[in-house]
Structures are given as structure tokens and as C-alpha cells.
């Protein structure tokens, strides 16, 4: 497994290096524009021209950071700082610059050495009440690691009693409360305002998401996933379908790295999701056991399969360094917390407050939205929830919904839009939302469908080419092998038609042609996929999607036609004495298990 996971960060590192190179080229072309404001004393007493240049530069930094940036004050090339008078003048100038951008300035840290001072400030734009930056964090780890308990403590602001009181606020099913184990994908939010303060204020034991979002500039959405091996398929769906920006790996200090911990870490690495680690239950763990757990954790993170740089976060300086360099995917901060006495929870909250989104701005591209859950709300109608992949979707827009079981797309109108239970008029790329749709039944919609702009002229496909890397398989994989494919919100069995190699074993890599078993799907080249049966088997990318050749249209004959059942073929004719039974099987267009699966409440 180490050899497999090793290759994924290589690709990510090359992409990051290329991205950094592009950014460097842009900076080089604009170097002349900012030459007059270089140096540690540029904020001390700027002229009118310098002030305008600084204002323009701050605006660019805020836009690059999606509404926020960390600004250095008094940090020179030689490492020296500013005198007290110069430092105070620079801070006053920075506050004036932030005011022009309708932003708040918050001191993160200040250093005084040898009579000189340096500081770092968080400059965060004050957004409208219906607009906020959303960051999704997937919470993974072995069963009984304290995932739901930590989320209950963070979101509700109350410490745990040591017997699971905090996690009861998050459970959605009766059997979860009885067993204490999460079996579905849950969503919880933590809001921060423009000054970095937590705005979560429970009322009568519950959180009002609308009030939190109205007061927040940044909202952290925790995707609470199941840790038990029995629910691995639900966890994989949460990691692929909900598109997390970051992963929070939870480890119980007393139990150590056991069970599904390595499995979840490997899955996050394979999907190129940056991971930070939270070690819980340090209040009840003997010191020698805690040190053994940390030593094993550091050894795994430094192994050739992970190639991470572990950082033990103990101070606020460690938090700032970790947060500013975390997107590089090489750094892996490690927090040691207690949900009972609250130790180091303030450092974890500060880290979450400083996280920045990894989503590139694609607001002007044609809209794409993937569906990960469906609802039927009394008085409203059919509601779908999911993630906006790119573009902007506005109220009353007409989009193409599909593919249906025969590969067709239908035009639908967006009747209303909700973000975190709050009514909005539009959603942009990277944001999760729920849409109320007109003139369509819930039975006609399933997970894995998409809503796309008509300009894309979408088409469904039965087959696709992918490049996969086998993580683990006890024997060999050959043609006609079938397993479950997770790709975005798609979760369907696929069969291997052909491979570039005769057979595949653990650690092998090959190009493979897949064919879906049940429905055609909408795919895009470049999407990440997980190919599994039981435990995770293989990961890879979608290389290409063959152009439609009329295969989808052939399956139109399987669509139920009440007026002429004989047209459905010989199989229908054989069972025409059982019209009601046939209607239930084919007319429903959706297996009962998929209809009853509930994963998320957005």
C-alpha cells in the first residue's frame, strides 16, 4: 500500500509547483507596479501614490485568498523589525487600508526582539449576511476515536462529560444513540465572524443554522463520517461525493492507530485531500501510551507512502505556521486535545479559522451541480442537495437534469435555493446547496445525477477509460471483474471490459475500460475515482469518455410504456400477466435500497 499512495502526492506536488510557477510569472510581470511599496517600512508613512498602490495590492491579496489574507508587518529581508514608533505607524496604516476594503484587522501574533517588533495580522473582508466562505472538512478515523464527540464540543461550545454526552447532539438515528456509533453521513457547521470569533450559540440545546450563517464570514462544514468497517461504503461516498477541502484524521490516544485508521488515511492521500491529525482522549491516557501512539503516528506520516512533514502544534505560533503552509499538502499538523477538560481546543479552533479554500474560482464557467441526496418536502415538492462543481446557479435558471435510466436529460427550473437552510438567490462554485425543482417527482431522481447548463450539451455514457492503481487485492484482477466505482456522487457497480495489462496485482498500475452495470452516468475527464470491493481496492482518474454512439438510445425500449407493453420486448411479454409487479420493478426506476438511503441534511 505504501508504494501506491506514494505516487499520488507526486502528481499533486507537480501541480502545486506548476501553479506556484504561474503565480511567480504573474508576480514578475507586476513587479514594477509594486516596487515602490517593497520593504518593511513601506507602511510607516506612505505617500498618496504609495497608499493607492498598497490599497491595490491588499485588494489583490484578499481576492486571491477568497476574502482574507495574512499580512506581515515589519518583517524585513534581514529578519529585523521596526521600532515602536514605526511599528505603531505601520499598524495604523494597515487598519486604514483594511477599512478601504471593508475588512477587519485582527492581530495573530507579535514578536519583540532587541527593541524591534514584527507582527502578523489577519485581514478578513466583511461579507454580506447571505454570503460566506465555506470550507468542508471530512472527519475520519477508527470507530470510538471521538469524532462525533469532538464535533459536538466544537459546534455547541460545551465540554463532554466523559461518557458521550456531547455526541448525542449530532446523532440522527435511534440506533446511533443506542450504540454510540455513527452509521450515516452527518453535517455540522462552525461559524467564524470577520474578527475570527466563533458565532455558534446553541438555543435550547440546538443550533440555528440560519442565524449562524447570517453572522459568519467563514463557515466550516464538518462531514461526520462513519469509522466502523461495516459502513466503509458510506465513508467512501462521503469522501468522494461531498468533495471535502481537507481531512481531519481522529486517533484515540489510548487505542492508538488501529482498525480503519490507515485505511482512511490512505483514502485521503489517494484523493489528494490534505490531512491534519487530532489525537483525542489525552486526559485519560497514560503518558507512556500517548508517547507510543505519537511515535507510531510520526513514523507512518514520514513513511515513503505518505511523505508528510509532521508538526506537533503546541503554541499559537505553530498554528499560524501550519495554517499558512497547509495547502502545500506536505505539512501535517498534529493536535493533542481533550474533549473533557478542553485542553488545546483553542488551538484547533484557531487553526480552523485560518484555513483557506482550495477551490479555484470558476464562477464564469457553465454551471455544473452534482446531486448527493434527494428529498420530498411536504408543501414544497422535490428537493435535491449537493455541491456546485463550477459556474454560478441562480434562481429560476433552467438546467438539464440527468441522466435518467435510459441516459436522457430533461430541462428543469430551479424554484428556490437554500444554503445551510438559509434562502439565497444564487450559489457559486465550491458551495453546497439545496434546490427545489419544478414538475418532477423524487422517484425520477437518484444520487449520482447532475444538473448542468444546457450550453454543455450533456450526454451520458455506459463506458469510460480510467487509469487505476491497485491498493490491495488478495489475488489478481482481470477482465470481467466487477466492483463498486465511486466517482463524485456516483456509486455504481462497473465491470472491467479490457486492460492494458493481462492481470493486475497489489501495486500494479494500468489503463482500464469500465462499463457500468445498471445506469449510464455523466462523467468528465480528470475526475478522481475509487474502485473497491469490501476494503479499498484501487484509486485513479477518469482519462476519457467515449463519444455517444447511440448505445444509450437502445435502452429506451426498457422505459415503461403503459399504452403498448408489447413494445418493451420479449421479456415484458412473458410477464404481462403481472403488470403491477413489472411496474414496481421498472417503473420505479430506482432500487428501494437507494430510495431509503439518507445521508445528509444540508
| 303-354 pLDDT tens trace | 998 999 999 999 999 999 999 888 777 899 999 999 999 999 999 999 999 9
Domain ranges of the chain: 32-125, 133-354, 368-456, 463-544
Instruction: Give pLDDT, residue 130.
Output: 67
pLDDT digits (tens, 9 = 90+) for 284-297: 999 999 999 999 99
The β-bridge relationship of strands 186-192 and 116-125 is unpaired
How many residues in the chain? 602
Among 135-144, 336-345, 526-535, where is mean pLDDT lowest? 526-535
pLDDT surpassing 50 at residue 215? yes
Alpha-carbon distance values, 555 to 464, 496, 519, 558, 581 (Å): 18, 20, 10, 6, 20
Per-residue pLDDT reduced to its tens digit, 162-193: 766 676 666 656 665 556 666 667 788 999 99
Q: What's the rounded mean pLDDT across residues 10-26?
A: 40
Looking at domain 463-544, its CATH superfamily turns out to be Translation factors (2.40.30.10)
Average pLDDT, the chain: 82
Mean pLDDT, range 217-241, rounded to an integer: 89
Asked if 170 contacts 177 with a C-beta cutoff of 8 angstroms, the reply is no
Phi, psi (deg, nearest 5) at residue 592: -60, -35
Selection from 468, 534, 479 nearest residue 506 by Cα? 468
pLDDT score for 8:
33
Q: How far is CA 579 from the centre of its chain?
A: 45
Statement: residue 582 has pLDDT above 50 = no
Q: What is the CATH number of domain 133-354?
A: 3.40.50.300
CA 141/CA 281 separation, integer angstroms = 14
- Of residues 429 and 591, more confidence is placed in 429
Asked if domains 368-456 and 463-544 share a fold, the reply is: yes
CB 327 within 8 A of CB 358: yes
Question: Is the pLDDT score of 367 beyond 90?
Answer: yes
Of 347, 367, 480, the closest CA to residue 428 belongs to 367
Tell me the sheet residues that pair with 528.
Answer: 541
pLDDT given at position 586 = 41
For the stretch 475-493, pLDDT in tens is: 889 999 999 999 999 999 9
What does 98-122 look like in DSSP terms, one character per residue? Answer: HHHTTEEEEEEEEEEETTEEEEEEE
For residue 451, which of 478, 413, 407 has the smallest C-alpha distance? 413
**Would you say 269 and 11 are in contact if contact means Cβ atoms under 8 Å apart?**
no
Which of the pair, 90 or 560, is modelled with greater confidence? 90
Q: What is the pLDDT of residue 179?
A: 63
Contacts of 76 (CB under 8 A, 6+ apart): 39, 40
d(CA 365, CA 523): 17
Mean pLDDT of 249-276: 92
Contact residues for 313 (Cβ-Cβ < 8 A; gap 6+): 319, 322, 333, 334, 335, 344, 347, 351
Q: Who contacts 396 (Cβ-Cβ below 8 Å, separation ≥6)?
A: 413, 414, 415
Nearest residue to 223 via CA among 280, 169, 170:
170
In this prediction, residue 234 carries a pLDDT of 87
pLDDT at 515 over 90: yes
Between CA 461 and CA 522 the distance in angstroms is: 6
What's the fold here for domain 368-456?
Answer: Elongation Factor Tu (Ef-tu); domain 3 (2.40.30)
CATH of domain 32-125: 3.30.110
Q: Report pLDDT digits (tens) over 50-80.
A: 898 899 889 989 988 888 999 999 887 666 7
The span from the first CA to the last CA of the chain, in angstroms, equals 35
Q: Which pLDDT does position 520 carry in this prediction?
A: 96
Amino acid at each position: 500500500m505504501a508504494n501506491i499512495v506514494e505516487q499520488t502526492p507526486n502528481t499533486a506536488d507537480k501541480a502545486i509547483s506548476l501553479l506556484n510557477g504561474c503565480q511567480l510569472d504573474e508576480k514578475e510581470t507586476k513587479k514594477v507596479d509594486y516596487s515602490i511599496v517593497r520593504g518593511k517600512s513601506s507602511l510607516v508613512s506612505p505617500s498618496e501614490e504609495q497608499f493607492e498602490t498598497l490599497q491595490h495590492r491588499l485588494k489583490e491579496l484578499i481576492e486571491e485568498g477568497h476574502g482574507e489574507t495574512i499580512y506581515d508587518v515589519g518583517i524585513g529581508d534581514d529578519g529585523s523589525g521596526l521600532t515602536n514608533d514605526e511599528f505603531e505607524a505601520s499598524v495604523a496604516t494597515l487598519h486604514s487600508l483594511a477599512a478601504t476594503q471593508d475588512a477587519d484587522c485582527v492581530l495573530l501574533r507579535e514578536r519583540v526582539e532587541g527593541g524591534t517588533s514584527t507582527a502578523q495580522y489577519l485581514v478578513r473582508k466583511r461579507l454580506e449576511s447571505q454570503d460566506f466562505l465555506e470550507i468542508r472538512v471530512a472527519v475520519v478515523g477508527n470507530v470510538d476515536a471521538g469524532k462525533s464527540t469532538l464535533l459536538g464540543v466544537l459546534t455547541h461550545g460545551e465540554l463532554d462529560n466523559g461518557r458521550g454526552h456531547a455526541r448525542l447532539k449530532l446523532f440522527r438515528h435511534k440506533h446511533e444513540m443506542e450504540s454510540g456509533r455513527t452509521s450515516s453521513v452527518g453535517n455540522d457547521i462552525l461559524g467564524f465572524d470577520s474578527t475570527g470569533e466563533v458565532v455558534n450559540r446553541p438555543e435550547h440545546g440546538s443550533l440555528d443554522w440560519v442565524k449562524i450563517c447570517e453572522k459568519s464570514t467563514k463557515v466550516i462544514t464538518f462531514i461526520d463520517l462513519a469509522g466502523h468497517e461495516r459502513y466503509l461504503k458510506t465513508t467512501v461516498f462521503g469522501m468522494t461525493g461531498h468533495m471535502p477541502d481537507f481531512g481531519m484524521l481522529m486517533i484515540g490516544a489510548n487505542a492508538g492507530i488501529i482498525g480503519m485508521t490507515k485505511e482512511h488515511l490512505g483514502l485521503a492521500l489517494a484523493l489528494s485531500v490534505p490531512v491534519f491529525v487530532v489525537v483525542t482522549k489525552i486526559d485519560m491516557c497514560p503518558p507512556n501510551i500517548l508517547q507510543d501512539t505519537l511515535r507510531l503516528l510520526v513514523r507512518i506520516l514520514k513513511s515513503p507512502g505518505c511523505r508528510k512533514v509532521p508538526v506537533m502544534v503546541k503554541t499559537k505560533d505553530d498554528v499560524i505556521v501550519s495554517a499558512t503552509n497547509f495547502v502545500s499538502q506536505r505539512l501535517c499538523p498534529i493536535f493533542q486535545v481533550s474533549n473533557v477538560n478542553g485542553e488545546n481546543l483553542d488551538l484547533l479552533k484557531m487553526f480552523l479559522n485560518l484555513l483557506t479554500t482550495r477551490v479555484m474560482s470558476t464562477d464564469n464557467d457553465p454551471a455544473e451541480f452534482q446531486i448527493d441526496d434527494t428529498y420530498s418536502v411536504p408543501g414544497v415538492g422535490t428537493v435535491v442537495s449537493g455541491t456546485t462543481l463550477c459556474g454560478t446557479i441562480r434562481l429560476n435558471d433552467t438546467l438539464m437534469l440527468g441522466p435518467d435510466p435510459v441516459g436522457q436529460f430533461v430541462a428543469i427550473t430551479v424554484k428556490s435555493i437554500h444554503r445551510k437552510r438559509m434562502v439565497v438567490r444564487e450559489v457559486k462554485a465550491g458551495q453546497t446547496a439545496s434546490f427545489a425543482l419544478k414538475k418532477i417527482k423524487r422517484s425520477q431522481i437518484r444520487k449520482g445525477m447532475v444538473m448542468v447548463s444546457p450550453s454543455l450539451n450533456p450526454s451520458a455514457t455506459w463506458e469510460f477509460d480510467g487509469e487505476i492503481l491497485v491498493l490491495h487485492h488478495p489475488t489478481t484482477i482481470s477482465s470481467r471483474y466487477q466492483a463498486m466505482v465511486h466517482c463524485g456522487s456516483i456509486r455504481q457497480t462497473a465491470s472491467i471490459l479490457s486492460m492494458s495489462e493481462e492481470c493486475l496485482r497489489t501495486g500494479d498500475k494500468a489503463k482500464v475500460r469500465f462499463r457500468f452495470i445498471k445506469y449510464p452516468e455523466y462523467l468528465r475527464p480528470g475526475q478522481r475515482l475509487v474502485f473497491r470491493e469490501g476494503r479499498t481496492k484501487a484509486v485513479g482518474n477518469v482519462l476519457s469518455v467515449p463519444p455517444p454512439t447511440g448505445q444509450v438510445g437502445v435502452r429506451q425500449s426498457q422505459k415503461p410504456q403503459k399504452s403498448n407493453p408489447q413494445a418493451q420486448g420479449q421479456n415484458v411479454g412473458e410477464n404481462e400477466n403481472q403488470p403491477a409487479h413489472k411496474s414496481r420493478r421498472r417503473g420505479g426506476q430506482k432500487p428501494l435500497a437507494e430510495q431509503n438511503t439518507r445521508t445528509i441534511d444540508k
